[in-house]
Amino acid sequence: MVGTALSGLPADAGEPVAALTARTLGPLTDRQAAFQSVYVPMRDGVRLAVDVWLPQTLAATRRVPTALRATRYWRASDTSPTDPEQDPEARRWLGAGYALVTVDARGSGASFGHRTTELSQQEIDDYGEVLDWIAAQPWSTGRVGMFGVSYDGDTAELTARLRNPHLTAVAARFADYDVYEDAVRPGGASGSPIYPWSLAIRVMDGVDGAACEFAAALDVPCEALVEEFGAPRPVDGPDGRSLLAAARREHQPNLDLREVLPGLPFRDDEADGFGWDGIGVRGSERAIERSRVPILLQGSWLDAATANGLLSHLLTFGNPQEAVLGGWNHGGSTDGDPFHAADAAADPSPDEQWDTLRAFFDRTVKAADRSTARRSSGWRLRYYTLGEGRWRSTDSWPPAGTTTRAWHLAPGGRLSTDGRGSRGSDTYVVDPTATTGRASRWNTGFTEEDVVYPDRRDADARLLTYTGAPLPADLRVTGMPVVTLRLAVDRPDADLHVYLEDVAGDGTVTYITEGVLRLSNRATVPGRPADASVRIPRSFARADAAPMVPGAFTDVTVGLVSTSVLFRRGHRIRIAIAGADADNLLPPDGDGQPTFVVDRGGSTVRLPVDRGTR
């Protein structure tokens, strides 16, 4: 490390960011790599912990563009290397000719302050000040690209709404377009992985008692869990660790999401400064669009319902957009194609995914003419088809030539393409232990663990299923499957789960996608025409909720999470209906075992079919 240590800068709330110009890393000579961990003060006096990495062979007169990642998951741990050759992220960016800057969000890591909510406007405003600080450094070209996975991708994109002139591109990978509908409360139901995540981030923030509470929940010794989590990296200098301790004392009043989430079942609910529309990209479309910042998106068909978010993003934003939609876990480190072995390698690999990110930044951040990318418009999507292993590109959604085919429910658990379905009904008593397993799409968004759906023939024995005849030819489904059920239930509310599955000739059942709906949220509202092909328009507002009339048949439409899948010739299409997913979603209050009655004659399955198959 070279240069002047910046630990413990005075927190002068009135100091202009431009005045920080003199407080920079010291001059560098050729063949040196620079790393420093420093505090940068915000206008309100809160100091953010910032790591700065500069490339090797950077002459004192040379300037470089910057890759910026802002996170609430620690910019680094206290055991992370400071040698760029030992840090994969730093090695990649520095080797590509960028400075790398990473920032702990206020109220997290080694930064001071506390968190009144996640992704607050104050937090996003902080990153505007960090952008100005970077641009004032003698090593900076003034051009910055923000990037990140998940929360870090959210911060990158939300910062674009500031229209800061130094932010020239955003790469939001596996980010949350709609936190409510696509991640935490699919269909208005209550996702359970959010609660252990909420406790884990309190451990990371250093909140007193959180580590032992989490350890008790996991039934492990508290000391072992504390050791496993470690601590965030302190800033440089002899006072670094004492400053870290002081910062973590300021984290004690951080909002505990576990206390507020149960009271926020509807999208328009707010409590203690937390509101659903305040923490996602949804609702910020026009502000981000006005920035004209080019955006790179990456997502997965199997990462919660964030594929819907990516597609909605493409269809509703006017920014220049490039997107990649694959079959990975959250983060893209493992393969999640349910037709592949559980240990299959990610394709493209993480290194190849990085190459896509670097090439995008080279065009939009490193380029000398900042207006080049901003003059372009429109979007382009590369997407992967499950079960086929093939990538395609499109600039329209659904892809050109997509048509809709209908199937109807028939006696004996059959799906039929004949007529309008058959008269009669089927009764299903919900099995509250039914599950898609812990390695699910709903879990990976909070843990980044692999997505694995084993053969579901035993799981389907607990469900109400309808299965089609063997297909005479390959059939490619790309888009949003829609299932309409004429349904009666014996209580005012319940969760309806609908799965799309593939049944092979040997009886193997492969999960493809699913839709979830809390029945009290079934009402549709006038939607946005732009993304009507991606989601059923629902407000999920408290005023629009309506209980079911027990025993009365009601038409209920469920949009399944968008997908692209190839059903092979000889395979059969299956729809499976459940009322519980024990490992992933919390049911409404009650005994958890409602009775569904499905009127076959009023029920339809509609699939978006690629014109290249039939």
> From CA 108, how far away is CA 75, in angstroms rounded?
10
CB atoms within 10 A of CB 285: 19
| Residues 586/590/595/600 CA torsion (nearest 10 deg) | -50
Question: For position 5, what pLDDT does the model report?
Answer: 27
> From CA 614, how far away is CA 606, in angstroms rounded?
14
Mean pLDDT of 31-57: 89
- Say yes or no to pLDDT of 24 above 80: no
- Say yes or no to pLDDT of 338 above 80: yes
Question: For position 368, what pLDDT does the model report?
Answer: 64
Residue at 506: amino acid letter: D
Q: What are phi and psi of 380, to 5 degrees?
A: -145, 135
Catalytic residue list contains 114 = no
Q: What are phi and psi of 68, to 5 degrees?
A: -120, 130
Residue ranges with strand state E in 250-337: 270-271, 274-275, 295-300, 321-326
> From CA 40, how far away is CA 35, in angstroms rounded?
15
Question: For position 17, what pLDDT does the model report?
Answer: 31
Domain range list for the chain = 33-385, 403-609
- Say yes or no to pLDDT of 611 above 90: no
Mean pLDDT of 378-394: 97
Give Dmax over CA atoms of the chain in angstroms. 82
Question: For position 61, what pLDDT does the model report?
Answer: 65
Q: What are phi and psi of 502, to 5 degrees?
A: -110, 130
CATH number for the domain whose boundaries are 33-385: 3.40.50.1820
CATH number for the domain whose boundaries are 403-609: 2.60.120.260
> From CA 514, how far away is CA 18, in angstroms rounded?
51
Tell me the torsion sign for CA atoms 451, 456, 461, 466. positive
- Say yes or no to pLDDT of 377 above 90: no
Compute the chain's Rg from CA coordinates: 25
Angle at 487 between CA 482 and CA 492, to 5 degrees: 115
- Say yes or no to pLDDT of 167 above 50: yes
Of 144-148, 365-369, 486-490, 610-614, where does mean pLDDT reach its minimum?
610-614
Q: CB–CB of 70/148 below 8 Å?
A: yes
Mean pLDDT of 516-521: 98
Query: Of the listed 7, 37, 108, 150, which one is catalytic?
Result: 150
Query: Of the listed 166, 330, 408, 571, which one is catalytic?
Result: 330
| Partners of 513 in the β-ladder | 500
pLDDT tens track for 530-584: 899 999 999 999 999 999 999 999 999 999 999 999 999 999 999 999 999 999 9
The pTM of this model reads: 0.92
| Partners of 67 in the β-ladder | 100, 145
> From CA 460, how far away is CA 225, in angstroms rounded?
37
Question: For position 614, what pLDDT does the model report?
Answer: 54
> From CA 131, how far away is CA 246, in angstroms rounded?
25
Question: For position 1, what pLDDT does the model report?
Answer: 28
Q: Which two tokens stand for residue 108?
A: 């997290």
Q: Which of 79, 150, 160, 161 is nearest to 118 (CA)?
A: 150
Q: In whole numbers, what is the pLDDT of the chain averaged over residues? A: 91
Helix spans in 408-518 (H): 441-447, 457-460
Catalytic residue list contains 303 = yes
> From CA 98, how far away is CA 20, in angstroms rounded?
21
- Say yes or no to pLDDT of 591 above 90: no
* Strand bridging mode 482-489 / 595-609: antiparallel
Of 21-35, 375-389, 452-466, where does mean pLDDT reach its minimum?
21-35
The residues, any chain, with a CB within 8 Å of residue 589's CB and separated by 6 or more, are none
Percent of the chain with pLDDT over 70: 91
Question: For position 23, what pLDDT does the model report?
Answer: 37
> From CA 416, how far away is CA 435, in angstroms rounded?
27
Query: Of the listed 205, 303, 460, 610, which one is catalytic?
Result: 303
Percent of the chain with pLDDT over 90: 86
DSSP 119-159: S-HHHHHHHHHHHHHHHTSTTEEEEEEEEEETHHHHHHHHH
Catalytic residue list contains 330 = yes
Q: Is 168 exposed, middle or buried (0-12, 13-18, 19+ CB in 10 A)?
A: buried
> From CA 608, how far away is CA 2, in angstroms rounded?
59
- Say yes or no to pLDDT of 16 above 50: no
